[in-house]
Amino acid sequence: MYTRRSVLFGGAGLLAALGATGVVRAGAKSAGAETFEVTKTDAEWRALLSPAAYRVLRREGTEPAFTSPLDHEKRAGTFSCAGCGLPLFSSKTKYDSGTGWPSFWRPLANAVRTKPDRSHGWVRTEVHCRRCGGHLGHVFKDGPRPTGLRYCINGLSLTFTPAKA
């Protein structure tokens, strides 16, 4: 019998293995045919981002579970897109989902967009930055109140700015 936990952690192990080997969907491009305010050539993105952040943000990769320091970030502040700097999530909506990735129950207003992701044989909802199209992660309907949503976000796709004292 499959439980939510066995699926999450079994899937996390598989995703971690895939992430560790750098396997991503062939020809993946963030957010399909949408247009974005911030656009760069592939060479410009590669120069701007670390290889790991490039693989996540621009090739829809997944970082290994339990590897992001941002999963354990507890300070007040703002999580922004590592590609373009757009503020995406407030620390006020962050929570520990136990999945190994930073999780939030709501993004900031007009920060993210979503699209269907059928890459693993079932439909998930991909989350990407509305300004640069960078792949952030996925949103699931198993989060806490008040939204019931879990925005499961790759730490490599984010930067964190602590709130000013």
pLDDT (tens, 9 = 90+) of the chain, 165 residues, equals 333 433 344 444 333 333 332 333 333 444 457 899 999 999 999 999 999 999 999 999 999 999 999 999 999 999 999 999 999 999 999 999 999 999 999 999 999 999 999 988 889 999 999 999 999 999 999 999 999 999 999 999 999 999 998
What positions carry a catalytic annotation? 152
- Here the CATH number for the domain that contains residue 64 is 2.170.150.20
* pLDDT score at 39: 95
Query: Which candidate, 165, 164, 155, places its Cα nearest to that of 73?
Result: 155
Domain count, the chain: 1
* pLDDT score at 127: 97
In this prediction the pTM is 0.80
* pLDDT score at 1: 37
* pLDDT score at 165: 81
* Range(s) of the domain holding residue 136: 4-162
